[in-house]
Amino acid sequence: MTAAVLLCAGGSTRFAGKQHKLLTPFRGRPLVAWALEHVAEAQLDETIVVVGSVDLTEVLLAEVVVVDNFASGIVGTDWETYRREGPGMSAFTLEDGVVYHTYSAYARGLDGLWGMYQWLDRAPLGRNEAGMWWRRHDEYDNQ
């Protein structure tokens, strides 16, 4: 079985548009509609769409399997809620039409996948982190 997984559960907090980025019009259609169309054209056995922060009912195709993200709505931009958006990865499997969440790793459990941490661990000062040092691209000062 060959399947596609579209991750559409993010809160679109870094997008500067007037509405959620997935629903933002691009060439006359919501942006996510383009992705759904291209996946449908691939004629895969299954298309899984992970949803959460925005209602995509109007643009989802009838043939997709919808998975409601268990963590939607818990991340914000203040420190307490932003911190919840730490690094993480999950693995899923599809069996008999049911999607199962089989594995998750968070924070230090992902260090091997984050190449930058491997370099910092070998640097003279190591991570030497003081507070929040990793900023999103749109949070840098105009320098």
Q: With respect to residue 131, please indicate whether it lies within any of the assigned structural domains.
A: no
Q: With respect to residue 137, please indicate whether it lies within any of the assigned structural domains.
A: no
Predicted model pTM? 0.49
Q: With respect to residue 77, please indicate whether it lies within any of the assigned structural domains.
A: yes
Instruction: Give pLDDT tens digits for 4-14.
Output: 888 887 777 77
Structural domains in the chain (count): 1
Q: With respect to residue 63, please indicate whether it lies within any of the assigned structural domains.
A: yes
Structure tokens at 125: 């000062």
For residues 115 and 35, what is the distance between their CA atoms, to the nearest angstrom? Answer: 29
Q: What's the domain range around 23?
A: 3-108
Q: With respect to residue 119, please indicate whether it lies within any of the assigned structural domains.
A: no
Q: What is the dihedral of CA 62, 59, 97, 67, to 10 degrees?
A: -150
Q: With respect to residue 122, please indicate whether it lies within any of the assigned structural domains.
A: no
Instruction: Give pLDDT tens digits for 50-107.
Output: 887 788 888 887 788 887 765 544 555 566 655 555 667 788 888 888 888 888 777 6
